[in-house]
Structure 1
Amino acid sequence: MSDALKHECGIAFIRLLKPLEYYHMKYGSWMYGINKIYLLMEKQRNRGQDGAGLACLKLDVPAGKRYISRVRSNSSRPIVDTFEMVRRPIEAVAERNKDLAFNPNYAIENFDFAGQLLLGHLRYGTFGKNDIENVHPVLRENNWKTKNLVLSGNFNLTNVDEMFEQLLSFGQHPKDYSDTVTILEKIGYRLDQMNERMIEEYKKEGYNKREISLLIEENFDLTTVLKRASENWDGGYVIAGMVGHGDAFVMRDPNGIRPASYYADDELIVVASERSVIQTVMNVPAERVSEIKPGHALIIKKSGEYIMPEINKPLERKSCSFERIYFSRGSDADIYKERKLLGELLTPQILKAIDNDTDNAVFSFIPNTAETAFYGMLKGIETHMLESKIEQIISRRGNLSNDELRAIINTRPRVEKIAIKDVKLRTFIADDSGRHDLVEHVYDVTYGTINPGVDRLVIIDDSIVRGTTLRRSILKILDRLSPAEIVVVSSSPQIRYPDCYGIDMAKLTEFIAFQAVINLLRETGNSSLINDIYRKCKEQQYKNRNEIVNYVKELYDPFTDDQVSEQIARILQPGIKSKVKVVYQTVENLHKACPNDTGDWYFTGNYPTPGGNKVVNTAFINYIEGRNVRAY
C-alpha cells in the first residue's frame, strides 16, 4: 500500500496444559511457551509496531508470591525489547549457573514468566498518545484472585460516551476516557458483582472465607460476566483476558468484524489474530485451526477445559474485507487466493483503460503488499492474450508461416519491476518544500524499461486511500520514465467513508474519493446537495445512534464510479507530464473475490453497527464546520 495506514492491533495467547517439566523433557526447554508466543507476536508484527506487551499468569502460587507479571515497550523495536525484559533475569542466572536457569522447577519459583498462561499484544496507535500507558496488556489489580483482570484486545468502540456514563452511574470514577479503560472497568465491575453474589451464596451454605475463595475459583461463571459486561457495546472487537485464579477468555463481536482463530491439542491452546500465524508457529494444517465464532467467547477454565458459549446474539456476518485486501498476512491460503482474484477481476477495466493495446503496455506493481494482486492481474491479461492468439490462429488457418505463428505464440504481457521502495528515508528538520523533496525519493524506478512517449505503464496497488504518497512520490518518480500514460490500478474499491472499528481512516477530508465527489458536485452546479446533506446530518446529530441514517451516501448518487475515478485522476494529474488514469475495483467484484468477508462499509457506507452511522454523520458535520478532529 502506498498510503501508510495504521490499523487494528494483534493478539497472541497461549495456555499451556502440561507442567513446565513436560515441555522441558519433550522439547528441550521449559521456555517452550515463551518461545512460541514470541513467534506468534513476531509473525504478527504487521499488526502493530507502536508497542508490544506480554503478561504471564501462574497457577496455584502460594500467597505472598507474585503470580501476575507484565512487561511492555513502546520503543522503536517493541517486540524485541519486550522479550529482552523477559529473558534478562533468565540470562543473568544462566551466566552463573546454566543448569539452574534451565531447570523448570527452579524457573517456576524464580522467574516471573515461567507460567502457564501467556497473553501478548501488538499495538498500532490509531488513536491516543503513544505512551506506555496505552500499551496492552492492561491490569485491574485486587487482593482477591478472582477480582484480578488482565486484558488486551484488538478493538474500537463507537459508543464509549454511553459506556462511560454508565460507569459513572455505577458510582465509579474512571481514570481515563478511552475504550480501553471503559472495557476494563465494565468487565471488572461485572467481575466484582459475580464475586459478591457467589460470596453471599456460599456464606448462606455455611462455608468460611478461605473455603469460599476456593469455591469461587472452581465455579466462577465467566460466561455471565462477559454477557453482562458487553450488553451494549457497539463496535468491532476481539478481547482477550485472564482472571487472576486462572480462567481466561477471548471474545469476538457479534458481526465478526475483527478476526481471531485458535488451535487446541492436549499440550496447549493457542489464539492469534491470524490463522496462518498459528499454522506456521504450530506447524499444523489450516483445517486444524478454527475461528472463534462471532458473538461467542472461547473460555478456558483453570482446569484447562474450554468451551465456546454465545455471549451476544450473532448478527449478520460483516468481517472486515480490508483485512483480506491489505492488513492480514498474505501467507494465508484463502487470503492469497482472494488477493490474486482481486487482481484478475480487474482485467476488463484495465483493457478498457489501455484501449486493448497490450503491445504498448508495461505491467508492474507498487511494492510490497500489492504483489499478490499483481500476479492475479497478470493472469487475467495472459488469459485475454491467449484468447486473442487463438482467434488470430483460427482466422488465418493455413495462411501462417512458421515465423508468423511463432510471433503470435510468443506474444506475452510485458512485465517489469518498475517501482522500488527504498529503506525509510529520514526527513530530518526541513521546511515543507525540502521535506516534500525528500518524500519524493521514498520510491525509485528501474530506468530503461519504458519506451518514452509510446508505452502505457499499468501499475497496481492494493488500495488508494488518501492519494498523498501517489501525488508526492510515486507518480513523480514514475513520470521520470516518460510513459504515454500512467494507469494506476487499485485492487480495492474507492474508499469513501470513515472507519470506526480500528483502522486509521476517521476523517472524510483525507479520502481522495471524497475530495473528488465534492469537486464534482461543485463543478456540475450541485453544491446545494452538500448543504442539504449537512442539514439532514445536523437534524439527527443528537438522536439515538439506532435512529441515525447515513445521508452521506447521497453525495455519490449523481455520479457513476467511473466519473469519480476520472475526477480522482484529475486531482492526481497536476505536475505530472504523462496522462494519469485511475482504475478502481468494483464492490461487486470485491464480494466475488472475498465472499465470506462482506464488511465493506468504507466502500459502501453500509455500516454493520448503528454506531457507524453516527460516526459518518459526525464526520460530515466536522467537515462542513471545519473541525479537523476525529468523529469518535
Structure 2
Amino acid sequence: MAELFHECGIAAVYHLIHDDVSPLVPNNDQNQTAALIPRLLLDIQNRGQLAAGMTSYNTERKQLIRTHKDIGGVNEVFRLGRKEKAEQLIKEYNGRAAIGHVRYATCGTDDRSYAQPFERSHVQKSKWFSFGFNGQLANYQKLREQIEEQDDFHLARETDTEIIMHLLSQDFSIHGRGDLVGTMSRMSKKLDGAYNIVFLNARGDMFIARDPLGIRPVCYAIDGPMFAAASESVALWNLGFDNSSIRTLEPGEMILVQHGRIEKHRFAESPRKAHCFFEWIYFANAASSLDERSVYLSRTQLGVHLAKQERLEIDEDTIVVPVPDTAKSAASAMAYELNIPCLEGLMRNRYVGRTFIESKDRADKVRLKFTPLPEVFRNRKVILVEDSIVRSTTMKGLIDQIRVRGGAKEIHVRVACPPIISPCFYGIDMSNIGELFAPKFMDGPEMTPAIEAAMAKKLGADSLRYLPIDTLHESIGIEESSLCRACVNSEYPTEAGRELYQLALEYKDDPERAQSERAYDVQTLMSTRS
C-alpha cells in the first residue's frame, strides 16, 4: 500500500567507560559508537525516507556534541555508497555516544532544517543538547499558541519537534541541570499524543523515553558496557545483540544513561496502553517484535482470518496475489489455508523512491511503481490481498492494470484490515476524513455486504471483503483494550485526539476546509474557528 506514510524512527548507542570493550564496537575503540548509528537507521528506514541524521558526543573535540543531518535516505546522508567519504564522515562524527533519526514528514517541508536530530547550542553544557522525536502531538496547535502568546517567543518551523525543543529548554532554565527524569515528568503533563524521544547533551547524559500510552514502539538492549535503543527490535538484533537481551521500553518509562550508569525510571503513570495496531499490519519490519509480539506472526494470523471468512468458489484458475510488500505474509497464510497457489504477480520497482517524475494520471503513477505479469494473471480468478485501503488511489489503478495489462478474468480484493473510517492524529499521514475511501460509503464502523459491493464497484473489482475489527487483537495477541484502533472505530485514546476528531466531523462536508491534508491543518482550523 504505497500511499501511506509514517512519522519517523529513532536510534541510540552508548558505550560506558569500562575496562571491557563490547564486541559490537568497531576496532574495539570505545569512541566509535557513532559508526553504529547508520546501521541501526538502515534497519528502520521503513519508518522514514525523507531525511536522516545523527548527533554524537565526544569529549576529545571542542564540539562536544555534533550533528550531521540532511535530506535523503540513510545511504545518501551518510555517503555509504562511497567508502572513503563514509569513513571520513564517521571519523569526524564518532564518539562514545550517539543518537540517530529517520524522518517522514507529517508536518513541515522537505527542508534540511526539519531533519532531525534537533540540536540546541548553549555555553552551559547541561543546556546544550540534541534530540530526536518519533510520533505526533495531538495538542500541537494549543502548545504552539501558548508559546507564541508570550511576547518574546517565536517558533520558526511548523513542527511539533520545535515545540518539544522549546519545552525542554524552558524546563532546563527553570529547574536547572541534571534532573532529566523530572524534566520528562513535567513535560508529560503538557503533551497529548504519541512521542518517543532520544536525547543527548554535552555532559554526556542520554535518555530514551516512551509516552504513557505507548502508541509508538521502542526497544533497547544492554551488552556489558554497551547500550542501544531503536524503534524496532530488528535493528538491535542485526547490530549483534542477542535476541534474549532485547527488551521493550514500557509506556511512561525512560532509560537514563548518566554518571556512568544505565537506569530505568518511570516518569509518568500509564493509565492504559494504546499501541497502534498499524505497526503490526503495515509499518514495522516483518522481522521485528513489538511489545513482545511478532510482526510476521501477526500478519500471518490476519491471513488465516481472511481464509476463514472466504466464501468465493475456488476452482483451478483461482490464485492469491499479494500487493507488495507488507501484504505478503497475510496472502501466503491465506493461500495456505485455502490450499491454492500464492503467486507474485506484481513486480514492484524498488528503485523509484522519491522522484521528480509526476503525473496527474493515476494509471501512470501505478505503472511507475508496479508491473503486472500476464503470465500470472491471464484468464485467472485473482484474490488480490492488500494490507489496508486508505485513499484507494493505488488500489483503483492496480485493479485496472491487472485487468487490462494482466488479463485477469476476475479480481476479488481482500483487505487484511478493517475499513479506515477516521483520521490519525498520532503520527500516520491520514488526517482528513475527506481523503479516506471508506467513509464515503459508511456511517460508522458497521460493515454490510451491500456496502462492500458498492465499494468493489467503485474500485472496479468483482468483490471486496474487509476483516472485522475483532480480528486485530486476536491476530496480534494483545487484548483489545491495549490497542489504539481509532482509525477503524473512531475511539481516540487522548483528549486532544477526541477534540480533533469532532472538529474533523464538523468540517468534513465543507469543500474548502476539507482540503486540509494533515493533522496540523485540522488543528489550525480549531484555533481559527469562530
Cα shift at 1:174: 2.9
Aligned-partner Cα distance in 2 for 1:373–1:56: 40
Aligned-partner Cα distance in 2 for 1:114–1:337: 38
Is the counterpart of residue 616 in structure 1 residue 498 in structure 2? no
- The alpha-carbon distance between structure 1 residues 136 and 592, as it changes in their structure 2 partners (threshold 3 A), is same
CA RMSD of aligned residues (A): 2.9
Deviation track 1:196-250 (CA, whole Å, cap 9, x = no partner) reads xxxxxxxxxxxxxxxxxxxx6xxx2211111112212110110111122121111
- The alpha-carbon distance between structure 1 residues 368 and 168, as it changes in their structure 2 partners (threshold 3 A), is closer
Is the counterpart of residue 328 in structure 1 residue 284 in structure 2? yes
- 1:310-459 correspondence to structure 2 within 5 Å: 310-332=266-288, 334-350=294-310, 352=311, 354-355=312-313, 357-382=314-339, 413-423=340-350, 432-433=360-361, 436-437=363-364, 439-440=366-367, 442-450=369-377, 452=379, 455-459=380-384
Q: Normalising by structure 1, what TM-score?
A: 0.74
Query: Partner of 2:70 in structure 1?
Result: 73
Cα shift at 1:447: 2.1
Residue type matched to 1:184 in 2?
M
Query: Partner of 1:35 in structure 2?
Result: 35
Deviation track 1:133-187 (CA, whole Å, cap 9, x = no partner) reads 1000101221111111211110200112222243346665133343111111101
Work out whether residues 53 and 100 of structure 2, in 8 Å CA contact, stay in contact via their aligned partners in 1: yes
Residue type matched to 1:318 in 2?
A
Name the % identity.
25
Cα shift at 1:331: 1.0
More strand per residue = 2
Deviation track 1:334-385 (CA, whole Å, cap 9, x = no partner) reads 11111100111111322x1x13x34442222111221111121123213xxx
Deviation track 1:273-328 (CA, whole Å, cap 9, x = no partner) reads 0012211212412x311111101111111x23122222121021111110000100
Cα shift at 1:616: 1.7
Aligned-partner Cα distance in 1 for 2:458–2:24: 64
3-state SS of paired residue (1:35): helix
Query: Partner of 1:228 in structure 2?
Result: 186
Work out whether residues 69 and 112 of structure 1, in 8 Å CA contact, stay in contact via their aligned partners in 2: no
Cα shift at 1:621: 2.7
Is the counterpart of residue 251 in structure 1 residue 231 in structure 2? no
- 1:72-91 correspondence to structure 2 within 5 Å: 72-75=69-72, 77-82=73-78
Is the counterpart of residue 134 in structure 1 residue 91 in structure 2? no
Cα shift at 1:446: 2.4
Work out whether residues 121 and 152 of structure 1, in 8 Å CA contact, stay in contact via their aligned partners in 2: yes
Cα shift at 1:475: 3.3
- 1:113-124 correspondence to structure 2 within 5 Å: 113-124=93-104
Cα shift at 1:424: 5.3
Is the counterpart of residue 589 in structure 1 residue 471 in structure 2? yes
- 1:460-609 correspondence to structure 2 within 5 Å: 460-517=385-442, 555-556=443-444, 560-573=447-460, 580-596=462-478, 598-609=483-494
3-state SS of paired residue (2:266): coil
Residue type matched to 1:296 in 2?
E
- The alpha-carbon distance between structure 1 residues 594 and 567, as it changes in their structure 2 partners (threshold 3 A), is same
Q: Normalising by structure 2, what TM-score?
A: 0.88
Query: Partner of 2:248 in structure 1?
Result: 291
Unaligned runs of 5+ in 1: 94-106, 196-215, 383-412, 518-554, 574-578
Residue type matched to 1:181 in 2?
E
Work out whether residues 53 and 69 of structure 2, in 8 Å CA contact, stay in contact via their aligned partners in 1: yes
Query: Partner of 1:186 in structure 2?
Result: 167
Query: Partner of 2:7 in structure 1?
Result: 8
Work out whether residues 419 and 478 of structure 1, in 8 Å CA contact, stay in contact via their aligned partners in 2: no
Unaligned runs of 5+ in 2: 524-530
Mark the structure with the bigger radius of gyration: 1
- The alpha-carbon distance between structure 1 residues 86 and 471, as it changes in their structure 2 partners (threshold 3 A), is closer
Aligned-partner Cα distance in 2 for 1:237–1:304: 26
3-state SS of paired residue (2:49): coil
Is the counterpart of residue 269 in structure 1 residue 216 in structure 2? no
Query: Partner of 1:48 in structure 2?
Result: 48
Query: Partner of 1:403 in structure 2?
Result: none
3-state SS of paired residue (1:414): coil
Aligned-partner Cα distance in 2 for 1:504–1:322: 12
Work out whether residues 263 and 278 of structure 1, in 8 Å CA contact, stay in contact via their aligned partners in 2: yes
3-state SS of paired residue (1:189): helix
Residue type matched to 2:372 in 1?
V
Cα shift at 1:506: 0.8
